[in-house]
Structure 1
Amino acid sequence: MFGQIQDYQKKKNKVIINYEQHSGEVEFISPSIVNFFAPISNQRRFSRAVEEIKGDNNISFEVTEDVGIILKTEQLKVVIHDQFKVDIYDKDDEIISKDYRGERKPFIRRGKGDIIAEEGHQIIKGNIKNRIEVLKEMTGEEYFYGLGEQTGPLNKKGYRYQMWNTDDPSPHVESFESLYKSIPFVIILKDGLAYGLFFDNTYRSYFDLGKESSQYLYYGVDNGNLNYYFIYGPSIKEVVEKYTYLTGRTPLPQLWTLGYHQSRYSYDSENRVREVADKLREKDIPCDAIYLDIDYMDGYRVFTWDQEKFPNFEKLISDLKKQGFKVVTIVDPGIKKDNGYLVYDEGLSNGYFARDKDGIPYVNRVWPGESLYPDFSSEEVRKWWADKQNTLLETGVAGIWNDMNEPASFDGPLPVDLQFENEGHQTDHQEIHNVYGHLMARASAEGIKKYSGKRPFVITRAAYAGTQKYSTVWTGDNQSFWEHLRMSLSMLMNLGLSGMAFCGVDLGGFSFDCSGELLARWVQAGAFTPLFRNHSAAYTRDQEPWCFDLETERIYRNYVKLRYRLIPYLYDLFWQEQKTGLPIIRPLVLHYQDDENTYELNDQFLVGENILVAPIVQQGQLARAVYLPSGRWVDYWTKEIIEGGRYILRKTPLDTCPIFIKEGSLIPNYKVEDDLDSEKQELILDLYPGDLNYVHYQDDGESFNYQKGEYNLYQFEVTCSQGLTISINKIHQKYKSYKKFTFMINNYQAEEVLVDGQPHFFQNDGNRVLLVVASDVKEIKIEQ
C-alpha cells in the first residue's frame, strides 16, 4: 500500500514520511504515546474521541537513519520501515511491539456452510480483506484486555470482534462479534509488560486476537484513514491512565447516582410508579432512582408524557422527590413522523434529520411507528437536542436514559449511504454509525448541564471511545441466565479498562424470567458495580425483590444496605478516577501484574484497590475457591486474617458472597438511610490495621462548586508501631465538615485511648474497638 520510503521531514513533535504511494506521520503525544497516521481516504485529521490534548508541544526526540528511520524519546525507540511497518522498543532496546511481515494465514474451513445454514446454524464468514490493515506479531505469550463490553472471558486471546454498534436482543453468547458499543482499544500484556493500541477510526472495524492465526493480531477497517495510538505502560495502570488522558475521564457524578436504581419496561402508569415507590420504603430497601421506560410517553413521542396514564406528571415527580426518589426518563432518538408534533415539525423545518442520498429525510420504523433520526453529527442539531432536555428537566426529571441509539430500527438497518452533516464535512452512515449514540449522549449531557446547573446524569446503551466524558453506560439487553451473570463480570472489568468507569448491567437480567436464587446472587455482585440498577423486560415476571420469597427479599435488602454503607468509598474512587482514569471495578491483574495467577480471573474483581469480591455465578453453588493475591487479607464477614498468594476455599450459603479487605485499609462508610439526599453528619471509618495513608473526599454531591474549590479532603494516616496511631489532617477545608468520626478498628483490643493527648471513652466490642470522636481531632493513640 505504501511502498518504499522516499524521504522524511521533522516538524515539532512529528515526522512526516513520504512513501511511493502514500505519506505517513508519526507524532509523539508524550514520550510514551505515539500516534501513527496516514491519510488514506482524505487529508482531514478529526477525532470524536480525542477532543482535546493538553500536552507538551515540544517533546524531545532524536531522528536518525539506519535500517529504517529511527525515532528515540527518553522511553521509546520507534523504527519506521518501508510499507509503513513499525517496530517499537523500550529504552533498553528490548522489543515491545513488532509489525508482522508475512501474509495473513487464516485456518481452513472445510465443507459447505450454506448447507448447515439451512438448518439455522450460524455461519462464520471467511476472513475479509479490508482497505486498511494492521498486523502485529504475536509470540504466544500475550494476554488481551479491553475492547469494551464484548462477550467472552476477561482475556480476549483467541477471539475476534467487530466494532459496529449492534442492537441484537437474542441471548448474548461468545459467538457474538458485535454489541452496542465500539471501543477499538486493546491492552496487550506480554512478559509482564503492558501497552495499548487505540485505533481511532469510526468506520466498521475488525479485531482478530489470534483466532485466525496464532502468529499475529489483526486490525482491519472498511474505510477512513489509518490512525492509531501506541500507548506504553509498562504497567496496565499506566496504559489506562494514558488512554484516558487521550479520550477523557468520567467526571465526578452526583452522589445519588451511586445509589440503588429501580427500573422496568415499564412502570406504565402513575399509580404503578407510586406503588413501587411506596413498596420500596415499606420494605426498607434503600433506593434513590425510579426509571420510566417508553410507556410514560404520549404515543412514544419523545419529550412528551401520556396525560391519561400520567395525569399529574409534575406532581408525581415532586411527590417522589419528597420520598427521596429521583426520576430518570428514557429518551430514544427516533422522532415520530407526525405533523403537529413540535419536535418533528421543528426538526423537519430546520433540516435536522439524517437524509438519504437524494436529500430526502430518511424514515424507518421504531417504537413510535414511522420515525426520523436527528443528525447528531451537526453541532446545531446537538444544541437543539440539548435544549429539548429542558422539557423534561423543568418537570423535575433528574436524569436522561438514552436507548435505541445504535441507532436501532425495525425495518432493516439504516442504509450505509445515509447522509450526515458531520460538522460541515458531509459524510455517510458508515462513518457516523458507531458515534451516533456517543453524540446523542453528548447532547443530552450538555443540555442537563445547561438547564439544571448540576452534574449531568446520562445513561446510554450505544457508545464509542470517549463517551465516558458524557455518560454512564450499561451492557444492554442481557438475559436472566446464570451465564449472563458470569459474563457480566468480565464485561464490566473490560469496560473499566476501556475508560468506561461508570458502568453497570441490568441486575437480574432484562429478558427471560429471573429466579429468586439468581436475583440473590446477582445483587451480591451488583452491589459493587458502579451503576446499580435492577431492570427487566415487559412480559417477564416482576423482578422487584419482594416478588419472590422472604429469603430473597432479605438477602436483597442486606446487600442494597451494604452498598449504601460503602457509598463514600465509591465516591472517593470516582474522585480519584478523575486524576488517574482508573475504573471502580477492576480485574486483579490491574494491581497484581507480576502475578500470573491474576491474568485470567474471570469471576473475581477488585473494587478500588482495597476490596476483593468473589461472587457466586453458578446455580446451587455452596462453596467456591477464591484467589487472594500476595499480602494479608481480612474476611469481611468473619474478620479472619488470611495470608494471600494462594487459593482458599470458602463456604457460600445463599446469603453469603465472599468479600475480602486488604490489610492496611481504611474503608469510609455512611450510616444507611432510605436515600442519599440528606446531609451527612457522620463518617464511619472501617479500619483494618496496617500502615496506611488514605485521603477521603467530601463535597455537596451535586453541583460544580467543587471546581471552585468547595470541597474537603481528610487525610488519615495510620501507623502500627508501638500501638496504633491515627493522624487526621484536613488538607483542604472549603466545605461544611462532618460533625463526628466513628472508628471501627477490626482485629484489635484497646487498653487505653488518647485523643489529642487526653483520655477518651472507647468500647471493646468483640474483636474490634469502637470509638467516636469530633471531626476536628488531630491524633488518636490506641494502646493495647
Structure 2
Amino acid sequence: MVVVEREISGWQLAPGSKTSSPVTSFSLTTSSSSPFPDFVYTVSFPLANAARVILTGPDRPAPPHDNVVLPDAPLSFTVTKLEEHTCVIPFPALPADARDFDGSHKHREVRINWADSVLLEIWEEDGKGGMVRVCGDLPSRSYALTEHGVMRHWWMERDNVHLGMGEKAGPLDLTGRSFQIHGSDSACYDAYEGDPLYKHTPFLVSSPRAVAGETSRSTYAIYHTSNSNALWDLGRHHDDPWGYFKTFTQDWGGLEEWYLLGKGVQQVTRTWAEIVGKPMLVGRDWLGYLASGMGLGESDEPPAQELLSQWPEMCKKYDIPCSAIHFSSGYTVGPDGNRYVFTMNKERYPDFKGLVGGLHKAGIKVVPNIKPYMLDSHPSFDGLYKSDALFYSDIVKAPVVTRIWSSGVGVNGKGSWVDMTSKEGRQWWADGVKSLIELGVDGMWNDNNEYYLHDDEFLAQNDFPKKMRSAAPKGKATVGLLGRMVNTEMMAKTSHDTLVALQPERRPYVLTRSGNVGTFKYACGTWTGDNETSWKNLRGSQPIQLNCGISLMQSTGSDVGGFGGPLPSPELFVRWVQLGVTHARFCIHAFKPTPDDPSGVSCTNLPWMYPEVLPVIRSAIKWRYEYLPYFNSLMWGSHEDCEPTNAWIGWGDFASDPEVYAPEVLNGFDAWIGAGQLLSVPALFEGELTRQVYFPKSSATDDSVYFDLHSPHGVYAAGSKAEVATPLEHMGLFAREGAVLPIGKDYHTVTQREGPARTTPDGVDIQLEEEGGNVGLDDFRGVQIFPAPAGKSSKKSYTGRWVEDDGISAKPARATVELTYTSTAEEVTVKAKFVEHDFKPLWGSTVHVFLPLADRRKVAGAVEVYVEHKGRHAFVVTVE
C-alpha cells in the first residue's frame, strides 16, 4: 500500500499564548498563508510524568473515544525559554508520593522547534550534570497528513526493546517489525507471523537495555487514544536520508498522543492505568479450570444437553476439578444449521435452565457464547433493519447487508452486524443478555466481535450514552472515524451493565474475544482467540501473554491444546496444560473436526482424552487449584497495582539486570508468576527433557537464591545459569528467596458455607463433598516460604502479603495477611498478622507453614504437624 504523506508546515505561535506566567497548555497554529491553514497543535501535561499532544484541523477532528478515565485537568507549567520558532517547557514537578509512577524524580523538559515542521523532543537529566534525549520526532517528517488521517515519525532507539501493543505475535521484543492496529477473526493464526490478531491496543513501550555500571535513560510509552485503524512500524521500513525511525499511521481523524515516562516498564504501565483505568477484579471461580469445547455444544446425537449434564460426573470419574464451563454457540443453531444469537435449539437443549441448575449444584459456573450479528433470516432482523440499528451505506442508501460467519469453517451467509452505537441496537442486546441471565447463567462470553466491516465509509448512528464519548461529531459518523471497535466496547458495556442490574451483589463476568482499550472497563477477561495446534504456536502463546500483561490485559490465556488444526499429540497436550495452568486464565477449548477423536466426542480437547498422560494432566490441574489462593491474591495485585499475573522476567527491579536482554533470555519463554516470587520455566519444544535457565538478579548486589519446587537439591544463585530437568511429568518452577506463596486444597472449594460464594444466581446451593458433591470448603491455608539456606549466612528479614475474599461479591470484604520471616542456621522465625480482617476466611487464623523441600530446620515456637493431602510436614502458626 502506498500512502501519500503531506508534512504540515507554516506554524506560528498561537495568538494570545502566554509564556511568562503559568499556563495549562502551549499551542501553535498554522496561518491562513500556510499550505495547511487552520491546524492547531497543543501540548499539555495531564500528569507530572505524562505529556499530551493534540493535533486537529479541517477534516481532522480530535479522535472521538472513551478510552481515557483520567479527569481532564492538566497541570500548570511555565515556558522557561522562548526564542524564534523554539521553546523549552519543563515537566511539572513530580509529587512526593509518585514512586509508583516514576521513582526516578528526574528533571525533564519538552523542546519544540517549529521553524519548518513541528519537531518535539523530550530530554531529561543524565545523572552527570547534563541532559540526554529520551525520545523525539524525525526532522521534516514529524506530523503529516494521509487521505483521512495522520502519519507520525520518530527517531528509532535501536538499543531499546519495544513491548506492549496488547495481543501481538511473538517474539516478545517487537523491534524491527510492523503491526496493524485493528482486529480480525484470525482463526488458526500463526503465533509468530499472524497480524492482525483480535485486539486494538495502540500502546507502545520503548525501554533502554540495562548496561552494567551506567545510569539508564527513562522508559517511555506512546499511547494513541483513537479507535481508528492504524499501523505501527518499528524500524522495519528504512528510508534514507532519515536513517532508522518508527512510524505510526492513523487512518482517520486528528491526533491525540500521550507520552508516558518512568523508571522501567512497570512504572509506565502503572501510569497508563491511571489514564485508561486499572484492570477489573476477576472472580475466584474464573481462576480454576474453565471447560469448553464446540463439540460438546454442537452434538445432536446424543443431544448436547445430555452430554453437558454428564460433565460433573465425568470430572468426578477422572478426578479433574472444574470451576466453570463455556457453552459454545451450538445452543443457538437453527434447523438450517446456522447460528441465531439469543434463540434456543430446543432439540439439543430441551431444558436449558435445568441444565444450568444441575451444573451449578456441582459448583460449575456457566457462560454462554453470544455474537453481535445476525443472518437476514434471524427473527429480529427485520425489526433492527427498520429501526436503523444496523450500519448504513450512503452509497446504496440502505442498511448494510454483508457476509458473516454463520456455521462451520469458512461458511458464511448474508446478514448484518448490529450497530451498538444505536440505542435500538444496545436495547436489543440488553434484552438478549437478560433472557440468558433469567435462565441462570453466571456471565457472558462476547465472541466474534471484531466488527470487521471492510468499509470505513459505512455510517454508524453515533448515539452514545451520556458522558460516554469525547469530541464525537454530531449525527451519523463514519465507521473509520469512530473506529470499528467502539462497537466491541459498547457490546461489553451493555453485557456488563445488564449483569450488574440483574445481579448487583455479584462481580460481573464478561469475557471478550476482541477489544479496544475502553472495552476492558467492562470485560474482565479475554483470551488470545482461535489459535491452532502446533508446537510453534504453543511457544508463541507465551510472548503474546506477556505483552498482553504489559498492556493491562492481565486476565488472559490461550486456548489450551489449540483451537483449530489437528488434535495435539499427548506430549504437546501435556506441555500446553503445564503452561496454561501458570497463566491468569486457564481454559481448555477446541474445535477439532476429526472423525477419529479418541475421546469419543468429536471437535474438542478433553483433559482425559489420553489415558497414558492423564495422571500428568491431573497433577497440573490440581497444582492450579492448590495455588488458587496465590492466583486470587495476584489478581488483587493486578486490580489495585496493575501488576501482571504473568510478567516478563525484566519486570520491575529486574530490568536493571543486563542479562535479561540477552536474545535467548529476552525472547525465550521464562516468566514470572507474580514478579520476584515464582519463576516459570516451561518446556515448549518436542522432546525437551532439560532446559537452560537464567535466574535474574534484582540488582548488582542481589545475592538471593532460587529453589526448585520439584527437587530438594535444586538451589541456584541469582545471576547464574543452569541446566534443569523438565521431564514430561512437570515443567520448571522456581521460588525466589523471600517468596511468600499461599496455597490451599488441590481441588475445587468454596469460601463460604452460606452467601454468594455458595449460592448461585438461580438460587441453587452448591453441593459440598460432605453432602456427596464435588466441591470442598476452603478451610485449609498453607503458605510456602523460602528463607536463605541453612548454610548461608543471612540476617535478612522477608515480608510478603496476600489477600483473601469470598471471590464473588461486587463489593468484597477482605482479609489481608502479612507474613514476616527471618532465619538462622538452626531455625526460622515466622510472624503473621491480619492487616485487614473484614472477611472471615473458613480457615480461621491458622496457617500451615512449609519450608523448602530440603530444609530440616524448625519454625521457632510452632507445632510441627504432618499434612496428609500434601504428604509433607508443616508448622502451625497463628495469624494475630
- The TM-score normalised by the length of structure 2 is 0.80
| Equivalent runs, 1:71-470 vs 2, <5 Å | 71-73=89-91, 74=93, 75-82=107-114, 83-92=117-126, 93-101=131-139, 131-172=149-190, 174-191=192-209, 192=216, 193-213=218-238, 215-267=244-296, 268=298, 269-299=304-334, 300-338=339-377, 341=379, 343-344=380-381, 346-357=383-394, 358-368=396-406, 369-378=413-422, 381-407=425-451, 413-422=453-462, 423=464, 424-431=474-481, 432-453=483-504, 454-470=506-522
1:25 counterpart residue number:
42
- AA aligned opposite 1:498: S
- AA aligned opposite 1:406: E
- Consecutive unaligned residues of structure 1, counting only runs of 5 or more, are 105-127, 779-784
Deviation track 1:354-386 (CA, whole Å, cap 9, x = no partner) reads 222255222223345432222112466435423
8 Å Cα contact 2:559/2:588 also seen in 1: yes
1:525 counterpart residue number:
579
Deviation track 1:579-626 (CA, whole Å, cap 9, x = no partner) reads 222211110111311123223233111111111111111111121111
Question: What is the alpha-carbon distance in structure 1 between the residues aligned to residue 426 and residue 440 of structure 2?
Answer: 22
Shift of 1:84: 2.3
- AA aligned opposite 2:722: I
Question: What is the alpha-carbon distance in structure 2 between the residues aligned to residue 387 and residue 450 of structure 1?
Answer: 12
- AA aligned opposite 2:164: G
Shift of 1:661: 0.6
Question: What is the alpha-carbon distance in structure 2 between the residues aligned to residue 383 and residue 13 of structure 1?
Answer: 41
Distance 1:646 1:425, change over 3 A: farther
Shift of 1:170: 4.6
| Equivalent runs, 1:29-40 vs 2, <5 Å | 29-40=46-57
- Consecutive unaligned residues of structure 2, counting only runs of 5 or more, are 1-7, 32-36, 94-106, 210-215, 299-303, 407-412, 465-473, 698-703, 751-756, 758-775, 789-796
- AA aligned opposite 1:77: E
2:732 counterpart residue number:
658
1:536 counterpart residue number:
590
Distance 1:749 1:420, change over 3 A: same
8 Å Cα contact 1:545/1:556 also seen in 2: no
Question: What is the alpha-carbon distance in structure 2 between the residues aligned to residue 170 and residue 525 of structure 1?
Answer: 19
1:586 counterpart residue number:
647
Distance 1:577 1:174, change over 3 A: closer
Question: What is the alpha-carbon distance in structure 1 between the residues aligned to residue 329 and residue 47 of structure 2?
Answer: 46
Among candidates 673, 681, 686, match of residue 607 of structure 1? 673
Among candidates 711, 732, 740, match of residue 638 of structure 1? 711
- AA aligned opposite 1:754: G
Distance 1:366 1:675, change over 3 A: farther
Shift of 1:667: 0.3
2:766 counterpart residue number:
none
Distance 1:389 1:545, change over 3 A: closer
Which moves more between the two structures, 22-31 or 74-83? 74-83
8 Å Cα contact 1:438/1:462 also seen in 2: no
Distance 1:554 1:86, change over 3 A: same
Shift of 1:675: 5.0
| Equivalent runs, 1:763-782 vs 2, <5 Å | 770-774=874-878, 777-778=879-880
> Helix, strand or coil for the counterpart of 1:144?
strand
Deviation track 1:119-145 (CA, whole Å, cap 9, x = no partner) reads xxxxxxxxx998412111124212110
Question: What is the alpha-carbon distance in structure 2 between the residues aligned to residue 436 and residue 259 of structure 1?
Answer: 30
Among candidates 735, 745, 748, match of residue 839 of structure 2? 735
Shift of 1:501: 0.7
Which moves more between the two structures, 627-636 or 760-769? 760-769
Which moves more between the two structures, 383-392 or 475-484? 383-392
> Helix, strand or coil for the counterpart of 1:94?
strand
Question: What is the alpha-carbon distance in structure 1 between the residues aligned to residue 71 and residue 850 of structure 2?
Answer: 43
Deviation track 1:8-35 (CA, whole Å, cap 9, x = no partner) reads 6258532222233321011101111111
Which moves more between the two structures, 230-239 or 197-206? 197-206
- AA aligned opposite 2:420: F
1:719 counterpart residue number:
822
Which moves more between the two structures, 505-514 or 37-46? 37-46
Question: What is the alpha-carbon distance in structure 1 between the residues aligned to residue 333 and residue 373 of structure 2?
Answer: 14
8 Å Cα contact 2:188/2:563 also seen in 1: no
Distance 1:686 1:56, change over 3 A: farther
> Helix, strand or coil for the counterpart of 2:851?
strand
Question: What is the alpha-carbon distance in structure 2 between the residues aligned to residue 531 and residue 745 of structure 1?
Answer: 28
Shift of 1:298: 4.3
Question: What is the alpha-carbon distance in structure 1 between the residues aligned to residue 288 and residue 27 of structure 2?
Answer: 51
Which moves more between the two structures, 535-544 or 151-160? 535-544
8 Å Cα contact 2:451/2:488 also seen in 1: yes
Shift of 1:646: 2.3
Question: What is the alpha-carbon distance in structure 2 between the residues aligned to residue 604 and residue 629 of structure 1?
Answer: 11
Question: What is the alpha-carbon distance in structure 1 between the residues aligned to residue 76 and residue 723 of structure 2?
Answer: 52
Which moves more between the two structures, 600-609 or 716-725? 716-725
Question: What is the alpha-carbon distance in structure 2 between the residues aligned to residue 249 and residue 259 of structure 1?
Answer: 22
Distance 1:55 1:585, change over 3 A: farther
8 Å Cα contact 1:545/1:552 also seen in 2: no
Question: What is the alpha-carbon distance in structure 1 between the residues aligned to residue 266 and residue 448 of structure 2?
Answer: 33
2:800 counterpart residue number:
694
Question: What is the alpha-carbon distance in structure 1 between the residues aligned to residue 307 and residue 872 of structure 2?
Answer: 45
1:109 counterpart residue number:
none
Among candidates 11, 30, 50, match of residue 4 of structure 1? 11
Question: What is the alpha-carbon distance in structure 1 between the residues aligned to residue 120 and residue 193 of structure 2?
Answer: 32
8 Å Cα contact 1:13/1:29 also seen in 2: no
Deviation track 1:547-599 (CA, whole Å, cap 9, x = no partner) reads 54323211111111111111111111111122222211110111311123223
Q: Report how many aligned residue pairs link the two structures.
A: 741
8 Å Cα contact 2:420/2:490 also seen in 1: yes
> Helix, strand or coil for the counterpart of 1:695?
strand
| 1:488 is the counterpart of 2:541 | yes
Task: Give the RMSD, CA atoms, in angstroms.
Answer: 2.6
Distance 1:297 1:681, change over 3 A: same
- AA aligned opposite 2:667: L
Distance 1:546 1:704, change over 3 A: closer
| 1:499 is the counterpart of 2:552 | yes
Q: Determine what percentage of the aligned residue pairs are the same residue.
A: 23
Distance 1:658 1:129, change over 3 A: farther
8 Å Cα contact 2:60/2:149 also seen in 1: no
- AA aligned opposite 1:366: I
